Structure 1
Amino acid sequence: MDNVKILDCTLRDGGYYNNWDFSTNFAKNYLKVLSKTSVNIIEIGFRKPINNIGSGPSGLSKIGKFLTSSEKDLSKLKFDRNKKISVMIDLSDYTGEEGLNSLKKNFISSKKSVVKIVRIACNFTDKEKLEKIVKYLKNNNYTVCVNLMKFTILTNQEILSFFKIAIRFGADYLYLADSFGNCKPNKILNISKYIKKGGINLNRLGFHSHDNTGDALNNTIASIKMGFGVIDTSIMGMGRGAGNLKLEDFLKYKKKNTELKKVNIFSKKFMKNLYEEYKWGKNKYYIYSAKNNIHPTFVQRFLEEEKFKKDRMIKILKFLKKNKATQYDMNIFDNLFLDVIKHKKVQSKKLNKIAILCDNLHTKNINLKKLRLNGYATSTLNFINFINSKYLDYIFMCNAYRIFTEIEKALSTKNVSLILPHYKILRHLIKRNQNKIINYNIKKNNKIKIQNNFCGYEKNLVLIYALSYCIMQKFEEIKIFGLTKNISNLKILEQIKNFLKKGNYKTKIILK
């Protein structure tokens, strides 16, 4: 038990809350305090093959440097020679010819890098794609760990076969990652016996816990007792969803009181503010998601929305349970929530021109009063906090997630009508607010389709939705303010113009 290695992944897993935007000062103090503990391995972050961080609307402007953990950024930090440094990669980022080229670009020989260990996050179904990645990293002298995600929904035989394939490709360590946070100590004991019987040395195994049900420490203790070689922690448990095993709890369990005191001093100075802001940890929603194999990031995203009404959380989680939402993807709402009720009437407009404002700071200073005086109806794509609703007529909303998180705020705006699909899941809310809601449906369709009561498109996008409604209402002029001119939006505008041309519509679309 005393030989187990401790890997701390605060900067990597904790980054799911602050977009990996830890300051250099934070990182330096984090490394300094860990140098005084029995932590053996420090996972400094992800190494994503991204090169457009901070480049504006088309880039990831809010993403911090520990998502890429580049050699250049790591060179600015001081590392204890007694600690091994690791990074994690997602298998999906480095598959195929293009992915392999990115791998070669992002991973020089470990002899020239501070990074010595690479952990690969992999799903069972993608196991055959590991070979080239593992072999390249091994050839460049990295210690390679293969992390099996979502192992609790797999059979023991599937877990064993996955690990045997990873070993055949050259992996040094094999990880069980409790992605849903629903593992129990007895399950670890059962899996461990099966794997050992299958001929794998349990000292090669690692365990990554999530604390959705409060069992992170008990699960970790069970894995250590079975002979696992590595276990994961993070300071104050900061990590995706409900978080991980707290380093503090593990140090307390090991009776490392001097180390615990030093970590607590660091936490009080650097971690408490993060916790107050993001409030990770066990709650009834994470418990529900764990019990029903729902990816915990759904819960995390819902809780991050301050506008979100928590009394609807279980209702939506039940829907996700029904639809087996084991993979995190916000587009799941497009596919699953587009269940609409037919309706007979769409409210007609009173003006022949409409202004549409996008959620963009460039629209903040648009004079809605002046637009109204010039004969325009005024509207926004989704609810926009900084828009003065006094001179606003309509809010277009069609994306189910945006509706669930923003509808209460939108309904509270006086004298503003909401234009949204008649979702079955919202039928009671729609019925109670009939005087404020105009129903216009959207459906999945391979080609653009615009009709009086609904539009169809390959994706649930509010731009296509709003334009379709305005065209069917025979607005002669649609003036759009603050639209991001990305590939998706330009494609929509081109398709709309072709539709107008073929149908001999008089509607004119103007970008401002």
Structure 2
Amino acid sequence: MGELKLLDCTLRDGGYVNDWEFGHNNLVSIFERLVDANVDVIEVGFLDDRRPFDINRSIMPDTDCMEKIYGGLDRKQAMVVGMIDYGTCKLENIKPCAESFLDGIRVIFKKHLREEALAYCAELKKLGYKVFAQLVSVTSYEDDEMMDLIRLANEVKPYAVSMVDTYGLMHQNNLKHYFSLLNEHLLPEIGIGYHAHNNFQMGYANCIEMLSHKVDRMMLVDGTIYGMGKSAGNAPIELVAMHMNDVYGKNYQISQFLEAIDSNITSFYTPATWGYNMFFYLAASNDCHPNYVSFLMDKRTLSVSSINEILGKLQGEKKLLYDKNYIEQLYKEYQDVVVDDEKDIAALREAFADREVLMIGPGTSANTKCDAIAEVSDRRKPIVISVNFIPEKPSTDYIFLSNSKRYVQLATALSLKEHSYKVIATSNVTKTNGKFDYTLNYSSLIDEKAEIIDDSFIMLLKVMKKLGVKKILLAGFDGYAGGTKPNYVQADMEYHFTDEQALKLNQYVSDILKDMKEDMDFEFVTDSLYEA
């Protein structure tokens, strides 16, 4: 049976969590603990000539910087490697291996770049490095593409070819399939590796499966301390090491991993957690890029089941190659349920004729200034309509629903109080039972040029314009605050914006209000960042 090796990539893959800013003391401490744990291969960071040198970060522009961070440390038996994302580090930034702290370099590349990337690997090999060819998103390879990759690898003869399960899609059946292709057709002197991600919580199990193959070639599996890493994280190296000790007679010092977790890693866990969660499950179960999930979740308009339905519409190569315009179009098509709303518009126009309207938004002032809002309502007797929430006071005549996620949160309250007010919903919101009082076409109310195409406030203003309303009182439309400041009346509605995002959104709404002043008169009952 060939040699089995364990590779730690905490200092590289873990860096996606903290922008590689471990701090110099942590970088040194983690490295020394991995050496003392008897880890076979230690990956110490990225080589990326787009990034300036920072002694506190494990991403650096050239091989000389490796010496500046780790120089003088005793590697003992460990092989030390760095990683290059093909195309991000020019060859002139890489000294010959004899003059470098590194013993090897791992090169990651997408399948359409395999020919150029393997040629680059050949140049690194000429410089004396042990070279690893890392197959990004290995599950995207068709068999003929994998055979072409193997042909290229057999020409270059890298130290190892590694299956990289970038989006955590692998189960044991497809792991076996790709492993069999590689093992049967790669030259025997080329090792086979596996790098897991934990979207399906399969990283550790797949490492066990990989190691169980009794073959004559060298095999290695990757892990990170405490599973630290991009998205759902990686296979926890302490678990893999324990398994290799128990089953294959290895002598990895588990206590060193545990000390590193306690002393070096847990401080990064709380502000930016990693590990299995629903977000990464959705991406993996739809075989798609995680950015599609984050895009749809950031809309804050969709239920989880709706997000899952949209992801199910992704097709072909687009699934793993993120395209913002493509997912925006799928989102719009999903939301665009066309209804004939002429009768509902006519009925609402009659109900709102010659009336003043008080619109209440879900900003924090809807709570803090509720007495003042109620006083205005009692005194001026407007029609009261709230947006995607039910205020405690004043009592509301209508609820405007444009957001499926908010409807799910309100469904119980709406069923208990359904006779105290009427519901105006846009056509993208589906009622659990029966019909809403009024349903309006979603597509007629959105702004396709805007960053948020279906801002509920703007949509309701467009409804008011259609109904011929001339005077609108505004409360609870506070505008967006950047940072961690609360924006919403309820915690479960909350999400945060950067200062730049908040400023941009506030300016957008302010501009819309200015444009609409020709048709409607606005009066703010509560303070708002839109008052400019």
TM-score surpassing 0.5?
Answer: yes
Match of 1:323 in 2: 314
Deviation at 1:85, TM superposition (A): 4.1
- Partner amino acid for 1:147? Q
Corresponding residue SS for 1:42: strand
The aligned counterpart of 1:450 is: none
Instruction: For residues 205-233 of structure 1, give each alpha carbon's deviation from its aligned partner in whole angstroms, at most 9, with x where no partner exists.
Output: 32112342352232330467462443211
Give deviations 1:36-67, integer Å, cap 9, x for gaps: 022233223445666699xxxxxxxxxx9757
* 1:470-503 CA-partner distances (Å, limit 9, x unpaired): 35644899999558668x959x969x78x969x9
- How has the CA–CA distance of structure 1 residues 433 and 141 changed in structure 2, closer, same or farther, with 3 Å as cutoff? farther
> For the residues of structure 2 that align with 1:370 and 1:242, how far apart are their CA atoms?
47
Match of 1:259 in 2: 253
Residue aligning to 1:57: none
Q: Helix, strand or coil for the counterpart of 1:236?
A: helix
Shift of 1:457: 1.8
Counterpart pick for 2:133 among 124, 133, 146:
146
Aligned to 1:239: 229
Give 1:247 deviation, angstroms. Answer: 1.7
- Distance in 2, matches of 1:67 and 1:467, equals 45
Deviation at residue 270 of structure 1 after TM alignment? 4.2
CA distance 1:248–1:464, change in 2 (3 Å): closer
Post-superposition CA distance 1:216-275 (Å, at most 9, x none)? 232330467462443211123333454333322332233245611222233344445666
Q: C-alpha offsets along residues 156-203 of structure 1, whole Å, 9 cap, x if unaligned? A: 332121243356578554221123445455655554443455453363
Aligned ranges 1:334-373 → 2 under 5 Å? 334-338=328-332, 339=334, 340-343=336-339, 344=341, 345=344
The 1:410–1:505 alpha-carbon spacing in structure 2 relative to 1, beyond 3 Å, is same
The structure with more radius of gyration = 2
- Aligned partner letter, 2:446: C
- Give the match for residue 152 of structure 2: 165
**CA deviation map 1:319-367 (0-9, x unaligned):** 52453584274946533333232352577897699999999xxx9xx99
Aligned partners of 2:282 and 2:293 also within 8 Å: no
Q: 1:24 to 1:467 in 2, by over 3 A?
A: farther
- Contact map agreement 1:12 1:43 (CA 8 A) in 2: yes
In the alignment, which of 194, 199, 205 is matched to residue 215 of structure 1?
205
The Cα offsets for residues 94-123 of structure 1, whole Å up to 9 and x where unpaired, read as: 3xxxxxxx6339945366764554433333
Q: Percent identity?
A: 18
| Equivalent residue in structure 1 for 2:188, among 157, 176, 201 | 201
- Letter of the 1:75 partner, please give it: K
Aligned-partner Cα distance in 1 for 2:168–2:48 = 24
Partner of 2:495: none
| Structure 2, gaps ≥5 residues long | 378-382, 482-498, 523-528
> In structure 2, what is the equivalent of residue 58 of structure 1?
none
Q: 1:293 aligns with which of 282, 287, 297?
A: 287
- Residue aligned with 1:146, SS: strand
Give 2:259's aligned amino acid.
I
CA contact (8 A) 1:47 1:89 kept: yes
Q: Is the 8 A contact 1:202 1:229 kept in 2?
A: no
CA contact (8 A) 1:4 1:224 kept: no
Counterparts of 1:465 and 1:131, CA distance in 2: 51
For residue 136 of structure 2, what is the amino acid of its counterpart?
A: M
Give secondary structure in 1 for the equivalent of 2:36: coil
**How far 1:150 moved relative to its partner?**
2.9
Shift in CA distance, 204/297, structure 1 to aligned 2, threshold 3 Å: farther
Residues 134-154 of structure 1 show CA distances to partners (whole Å, capped at 9, x for unaligned) of 567567665543321332343
Q: Please give the alpha-carbon distance, in whole angstroms, between the structure 2 residues aligned to 1:140 and 1:80.
A: 23
Inter-partner Cα distance in structure 1 for 2:56 and 2:385: 38
Counterpart in the other structure of 1:75:
68
Q: Contact between 2:8 and 2:39, CA under 8 Å: does it hold in 1?
A: yes
Moved more, 222-231 or 476-485: 476-485
Aligned-residue CA RMSD (Å): 6.0
Find out whether 1:104 has 2:76 as its counterpart: no
What does residue 43 of structure 2 align with? 43
Question: C-alpha distance in 2, partners of 1:135/1:14?
Answer: 27
Query: Using the alignment, how far apart are the partners of 1:169 and 1:69 within structure 2?
Result: 26
User: Residues of 1 paired with 2:102 and 2:388: CA distance?
Assistant: 44
Q: Structure 2: how far apart are the matches of 1:15 and 1:169?
A: 30
Match of residue 470 from structure 1 = 461
CA contact (8 A) 1:85 1:114 kept: yes
CA spacing shift, 1:193–1:355, aligned 2, 3 Å? closer
In the alignment, which residue of structure 1 is the partner of 2:33?
Answer: 33
What runs of 5+ residues in structure 1 fail to find an aligned partner?
A: 54-63, 95-101, 444-452
Normalised TM-score (structure 2): 0.61
* Distance in 2 (alpha carbons) for counterparts of 1:368 and 1:43: 57
Whether the aligned pair in 1 keeps the contact of 2:24 and 2:57 (CA below 8 Å) is no
Is 2:162 the partner of 1:175?
A: yes
TM alignment of 1:483-494, pairs within 5 A: 489=504
Conserved in 2, the CA contact under 8 Å of 1:127 and 1:162?
A: yes
**Aligned equivalents of 2:384, 2:94: Cα separation in 1:** 55
Alignment: residue pair count: 462
Give me the whole-angstrom Cα distance separating, in 2, the residues matched to 1:233 and 1:18.
18
Alpha-carbon distance in structure 1 between the residues aligned to 2:430 and 2:451: 19
Alignment partners' CA distance in 2, 1:378 and 1:142 = 72
**8 Å Cα contact 2:24/2:56 also seen in 1:** no
| Partner-residue secondary structure (3-state), 1:35 | helix
- Amino acid in structure 2 at the alignment position of 1:293: D
